[in-house]
Structure 1
């Protein structure tokens, strides 16, 4: 689905500098959608990249720092970007898989950072986005979820718990019935990103399923970020988005 010429669509994407986030930005820009990227660093320029229909701006913002995020949200950048939109999108993509391992080996500071990045930041952004788009007739929040939100895995208790939190936020927020607001937590499938490389590099004692993910890489079972992003964006822009609060792109 492409953005129509008369419909002004604007999107915020977190964790936009690499992997699925970078591919989502390109998928949206290709559809003529203006994008605001939020991440702790700017996206590296791509040499000889062709111009895309949508415009792109980015903000350096460490989403694991909730005080800094709250300060940024108290300003006018978000509202200024969204001004004039007929359709507004928020994709909460930024996240971390660590700390990996049983509770006893998890540094408490790492647990706090993961919960802040994976849960606190998306929920803060969702609240601010909903308030800033109160007059936008079509607004949509997409949490990037995971199969780990719906199935427990040894070594991933933090990742499973934080992704499950996003799923349940979507379920509850959908019941609030805010006018024009659709919310869904969407699993993109197993995508060939840096996170997958991190998983394959972890000690098997901390993550017993490591070999399963290594085998998926060896046998070409990982989806490319571009393919996953195209399917994700198509679903986000479709009339079906929000009909169910949780979804998986592999079943669309």
Structure 2
């Protein structure tokens, strides 16, 4: 793919939900996008053939991620860009339930997808895009990383890991790299449908999320993506390594 766009963005999990909304809005802003997901988006490439590159990658497999990150793909994609944005969006909330019910294989997959992949891609991007004068990394975090919920011990732990990673990277004081672990609020996606479909014995707080849906309190992926991108490209981005879009994304 060739593009003269001075801004390049990498979005993981770009094939659905918030990731799809982020990719679509970046493309609409004339930003070249590299989408990393286990499958391609249904129609974005047809609509934006000159701006979208897609890589089918199993982000829950650290060996695959490491092999791809070691290739020249990131350097080639970011070459010539002034601003490079990485949005680590892909993730899973499984396994859900008390610790004694959790499947060890699902725990390993969650840690690989939710933690290992974002950290590996962040490192790879920082190394590959040295010519860019403005490099920005967004970890899609969650309130679950800052507050413990019954049944979500693995999900809470993985999101807390992203928060602390951002805090530590910010201490590296690389002036050409900004990072923020950003909670996007409660969004009406497939993940929310999974939450509402959870067994109450495994996730006692299910009714709270059912009420959010019934009362129209879930943000749309499109509205959240707009807020998130406006903040990610703002001068304020990176001033705090852990944030909530519902606070930093408020109109001035």
Q: TM-score, normalised by structure 1?
A: 0.94
Q: How much does 1:93 deviate?
A: 0.2
Counterpart secondary structure, 1:26: helix
> Which whole-Å CA distance do the structure 1 matches of 2:124 and 2:69 have between them?
7
Whether contact under 8 Å (1:29, 1:53) holds in the other structure is no
> Which whole-Å CA distance do the structure 2 matches of 1:54 and 1:234 have between them?
23
Q: How much does 1:197 deviate?
A: 0.4
> Which whole-Å CA distance do the structure 2 matches of 1:188 and 1:27 have between them?
16
> Among residues 69, 85, 96, which one is paired with 2:81 in the alignment?
85
> Which whole-Å CA distance do the structure 2 matches of 1:46 and 1:239 have between them?
29
CA RMSD of aligned residues (A): 1.6
> Which whole-Å CA distance do the structure 1 matches of 2:38 and 2:57 have between them?
5
Counterpart secondary structure, 1:153: coil
Please tell me whether residue 38 in structure 1 is matched to residue 36 in structure 2. Answer: yes
Gap runs ≥5 in structure 1: 1-5
* 1:32-181 superposed matches below 5 A: 32-45=30-43, 51=47, 55-181=51-177
| Structure 2 residue aligned with 1:196 | 192
> Among residues 197, 202, 207, which one is paired with 1:206 in the alignment?
202
Whether contact under 8 Å (2:5, 2:30) holds in the other structure is no
Gap runs ≥5 in structure 2: none
Structure 1 209/41 Cα, relative in aligned 2: closer, same or farther at 3 Å? same
Q: How much does 1:187 deviate?
A: 0.6
Which stretch shifts more, 187-196 or 73-82?
73-82
Runs in 1 of length 4+ with deviation above 2 angstroms? 51-54
Please tell me whether residue 234 in structure 1 is matched to residue 252 in structure 2. Answer: no
Alignment deviations for residues 62-116 of structure 1 (CA, whole Å, 9 cap, x no partner): 0001001111111111111111100000000000001001110001000000000
> Among residues 10, 25, 41, which one is paired with 1:12 in the alignment?
10
